[in-house]
Structure 1
Amino acid sequence: MAAQHDAPLETLFLPFGGALTWPAGPVLFLRARDGWPLRERAQPGQLVCEQSFRPFADALEASGWTVRDEQQLGEDATRYAVVLVLPPRQREEARALFARALALAAPGGIVVACQHNNEGARSGEGDLQQLAGLGGKMTKNHCRVYWTAPLNGQHDAALAQRWAALDAPRAILSGRFQSRPGIFAWDRIDPASALLVEQLPADLAGRGADLGAGYGYLSTEVLQRCPQVTGLDLFEAEGRALALARENLEKLASPAKLGFHWHDVTAGVQGQYDFIVTNPPFHTPSRGDRPDIGRRFIAVAAEALRPGGRMWLVANRHLPYEQILNESFGDVRVAAERDGFKLIEATKAKAAPVRSGKRA
């Protein structure tokens, strides 16, 4: 199978072909993604990767790279000669990431970042220049890679301190939830989830799951509206969101047994459920629409439901989910449509009764 083209990742490493020298010591890669450029440059044991999105973290670990989370890096005193960054599109989150990159760089170290032109590359370059000055830049593959000069305290320390707090968790929606920039619909209730909640039946009961739980909005509504729910498992691939969901749900003091899983739903889920709610993603952090992710969520939900179990799914109206829904469930109906979204209730077929008969 041909390797998937990842233009920002490939462009990120271009300066090390001449403009920059790859160091002999440890290198840090923030928002890391796996790919052949890592294997071309980094030595085994040299590269430390930070990645909170589970599929990307799994791919990095499968290739033998060391993966750490934000908290682990903060507790480690190691400072790095090179800090590589693939900044996210959300600007507050990206600025906070630049501030952390500077804090984790060793004296004389450099920060190297790359973004696709359609994902905020020009703004990112301007932000890093404002914070620490630029040592150079290159453009290729519809991307922009830019880097600092060797860092020896010449950056704007006060600005770095302000930017470091830009993606800190904070109260939203009149204090009802904790969230942070960069999480899906981080400062609001997205209209698709709101549509699902409006139609949510109060008779949901037993053990359920929220596939792609985000910061926990749907799960919170399930627990507050459906008193017969005895257990709820939250599955979320973005670790930063899952930590928020845990905080948001645990403060409810619900009698239901809760489970929090940093997990890629497309890999399948363990357990059998009486109901499932989901607002599945249809893209990944590395850009591009991916309706196959939603289709896989539907197939996984069908596998995880008990016979007669129900799935409540909300999605953009144009997404092609009907075939997999009809193939995977015994009964499918559109419960509501609004503002370009469709809400679907799908019920898993009950097993046919086993009939005994006499052999002729």
Structure 2
Amino acid sequence: MSTKAPPPLVYGAPPAELANIPAGALQVSPLVPGSARLEDFERASLDEVVMLAPAGTIERRYALALALRALRGNGHLVALAPKDRGGSRLGRELLAFGCTPAETGRRHHRVCSVQRPDILSGLDEAIREGGPRHIDNLALCTQPGIFSWDRIDPGTALLLANLPPLSGRGADFGCGLGILARAVLASDAVSALALVDLDRRAIEMARRNVGDPRATFLWADLRERPADLSRLDFVVMNPPFHDGGSEDQALGQSFIARAAEALRPGGTLWLTANTHLPYEAPLNAAFKTVALKAASGGYKIYEARK
């Protein structure tokens, strides 16, 4: 009796000129909405994984360990990363797991190809270190790789200090661990709050951290238009401004555009951002009134009314 061959996996978006993505590869990056969870694949169940490895050390070792755990004996892993975003350490990390990587350098990347050996070491430790945890200084569930996973970032702290009680239906764009959402839901006048994030891990942790029946959770890319967010009374957000390690001001501009589309006439956006980011023009283009509410420590807070 024949069994169906397991699909090859791809993690992230490895450059096509550096790695061959097998036909029919199943995406497993937590930053691609709708992708499968690498954590869910059984030990020794896969033949091939191609990975654009994460930049963060703990997150990268976690992803590598999950991939190696899921590979069968002699299964094939190709892992690559820019030299200045973890690539220079990839080979040593794979060696530490017990692999013998064939390593090359191309286009400012390091590319490591390995056949899974019979004996591996340190996988369980790396998976524990990179997995979900409760962190005491936040009193929240979190996971390495999520934005500001082990602290409250200063922009969010400034918004929390200036955010008034809100009311009606709203959304938290780029919700992260749910820190802003918890503050918003402290107001009994809030009837519903949609928490939206690109990162599946953030949505999973926010579900744990925001135990409120008024909250819903949406794993989505806000550069696109979520179909079920409209006629909102308010939006709060701390938009990202990096994509793949490089500053990308278009990300914040997309968040502002999505907020304007989702809000009803008279609805309000509360936004925190680094002082140097030029969001005033898109705010003024999309909203009737824009007011600077606070500026401190390199961050600024805006209230914009549609």
Query: Which TM-score applies when normalising by structure 1?
Result: 0.78
Matched, 1:49 2:27: yes
Give the number of the structure whose alpha-carbon radius of gyration is greater: 1
- Provide the residue aligned with 2:9 in structure 1: 29
1:330 aligns with 2:265: no
1:5 alignment partner in structure 2: none
- Structure having the higher helix fraction is 1
CA contact (8 A) 2:51 2:78 kept: yes
SS state at 1:166 partner: helix
Q: How does 1:116-195 map to 2 (within 5 A)?
A: 116-148=82-114, 150-156=115-121, 159-174=122-137, 176-195=139-158
Q: Select the residue among 170, 175, 181 that pairs with 1:208.
A: 170
Give, in angstroms, the shift of residue 309 of structure 1: 1.3
Instruction: Give 1:276's aligned amino acid.
Output: V
Match of 2:259 in 1: 301
**Structure 2 residue runs without a partner (length 5+):** none
Structure with a larger share of its residues in strand: 2
Amino acid at match of 1:338: S
Q: Residue 283 of structure 1 aligns with which residue? A: 242
Inter-CA distance 212–90: structure 2 relative to 1 (3 Å threshold): same
- CA shift, 1:133, in A, is 3.0
Cα distance, 1:38–1:120 mapped onto 2, change above 3 Å: closer
Report the AA paired with residue 22 of structure 2.
Answer: A
Letter in 2 for 1:73: F
Q: Which letter maps to 1:234? A: L
Percent of residue pairs identical: 33
Contact 2:99–2:117 (CA<8 Å) still a contact in 1?
Answer: no
Equivalent residue runs for 1:102-121 within 5 Å: 102-121=68-87
Contact kept in structure 1, 2:44 and 2:73, CA below 8 Å: no
Deviation at 1:71, TM superposition (A): 4.8
Q: How far apart, in 1, do the equivalents of 2:87 and 2:31 lie?
A: 21
Could you list the per-position Cα deviations for residues 85-107 of structure 1 after superposition, in whole angstroms to 9, with x for gaps in the alignment?
A: 22111111111112111111111
Q: Residues of 2 paired with 1:216 and 1:146: CA distance?
A: 36
Number of residue pairs matched? 300
Deviation at 1:144, TM superposition (A): 0.5
Instruction: Note the alpha carbon deviations across 1:225-249, whole angstroms, 9 max, x for none.
Output: x221111111111111101101110
- Using the alignment, how far apart are the partners of 1:330 and 1:31 within structure 2? 42
Task: Decide whether the 8 Å contact of 1:172 with 1:188 is kept in 2.
Answer: no
Paired residues of 2:39 and 2:66 also in contact (CA < 8 A): no
What 5-or-longer segments of structure 1 have no aligned partner? 1-24, 59-66, 349-360
TM-score (norm 2): 0.91
Residue type of the alignment partner of 2:105: T
Name the SS of the counterpart of 2:147 in structure 1. coil
Q: Which position in structure 1 is the counterpart of 2:232?
A: 273
Kept after mapping to 2: 8 A contact 1:231/1:258: yes
Q: CA deviation at 1:26?
A: 5.0
For residues 92 and 16 of structure 2, the distance between their equivalents in structure 1, rounded to whole angstroms, comes to 28
Aligned pair in 2 of structure 1 residues 174, 32: CA closer, same or farther (>3 Å)? closer
1:68 is paired with a residue of what secondary structure?
Answer: coil
Aligned residue identity for 1:154: I
Contact persistence 1:114–1:145 (CA under 8 A): yes
Q: Describe the shift of the 1:143–1:39 C-alpha distance in structure 2 as closer, same or farther (beyond 3 A).
A: closer
Paired residue secondary structure (2:285): helix
Instruction: Give the partner amino acid of 1:179.
Output: T
